[in-house]
Amino acid sequence: MEYKTLIKRETGEITEKKSRFICTLQPVKNQDEAVAFIDEMRSKYWDATHNVYAYILLDSNTKRYSDDGEPSGTSGIPSLNVLEGEGLFNVCAVITRYFGGTLLGTGGLVRAYSSAVKAAIENSIVVTKCLCSIVKIKCSYSLWGKVENILKNKNVAVKDIQFADDVCVYAYEKVASTDKLVKDITEKTDANAIISVEGEEFAFLDKEGKVVNML
C-alpha cells in the first residue's frame, strides 16, 4: 500500500489580468481535517472574492470540490483534476481569488485555477507514503561494503546506522520487496550477516527513496 502526498502545508500564487490566485495545499488525514482547513482558509481570506476548494482522500477514494460562486466547472473541478493528475491523496487545496476587475472567461478561469494549484505543488515536498518492513542487518566491518552496495543499488531507505563492534543497520524496505532484499544480502554475505524483520510501519520516502523526516 502506497500513495503520494505532501509533507507539509505549502502555497503558490499567480496573477492573471490583475486577479490574484493564491493556492494553499494542506496534507489531511480525513474529511474532518479537510473541512477544518477549508474553514481556516475562509477565515484567513475572509475578504477574498472566492475561496474555491478541492480535496482527495485515500479512504474510499473520496473527492470533494466547490466553485464557491465561480461559474460551474471553471474552478473546483479543474483544481481537483490537477491533484488527480499528480496522483496525490490526502491533500486539500484551497484556491483564494482576489478579483482584479477583468473577467477572465470560462477558459481563462480554468487555466488560472489549474495554474495556481500547479504552482503550489511545485513549491511542495511531495513524498510517497508506503508500508515498509523495518529490516535489521548486523554484519562485520569486512562485509559492510557488500551490504552497503546492495542497499544503494536497490535504493533501500536507511533509517539508522550504528557503528560499534559490528555494523548494525535499520532499513526501510517496501513489504513486497523485503524477502528479495533478505535473500540477496544472505547470498552476497554467504549467510554471515544477521538479518531480521523487526516489524512494519508507514514511512515517507522522497523521490530517491530516502526516508523523509516529517516536520
Measure the CA–CA gap between 74 and 83, rounded to whole angstroms: 15
Classified as helix, coil or strand, 93 is strand
Do residues 54 and 91 touch, judged by C-beta distance below 8 A?
no
Predicted pLDDT at 215: 40
Q: Kindly tell me the sign of the dihedral angle through the C-alpha atoms of 188, 194, 197, 203.
A: negative
Measure the CA–CA gap between 153 and 175, rounded to whole angstroms: 17
Tens digits of residue pLDDT in 151-183:
998 888 888 899 999 999 999 888 888 999 999
Amino acid at 156: V
Tens digits of residue pLDDT in 90-149:
999 999 999 998 899 999 999 999 999 999 999 998 998 888 999 999 999 999 999 999
Do residues 92 and 8 touch, judged by C-beta distance below 8 A?
no
Measure the CA–CA gap between 100 and 113, rounded to whole angstroms: 14
What secondary structure letter does DSSP report for 175? G
Instruction: List domains and CATH numbers for the chain.
Output: 2-124 (3.30.230.30), 128-205 (3.30.70.240)
* Burial class (CB within 10 angstroms; exposed 0-12, middle 13-18, buried 19+) of 183: exposed
**Alpha helix (H) residue ranges in 96-140:** 105-122
Tens digits of residue pLDDT in 1-33:
688 999 899 999 999 999 999 999 999 999 999
Predicted pLDDT at 208: 72
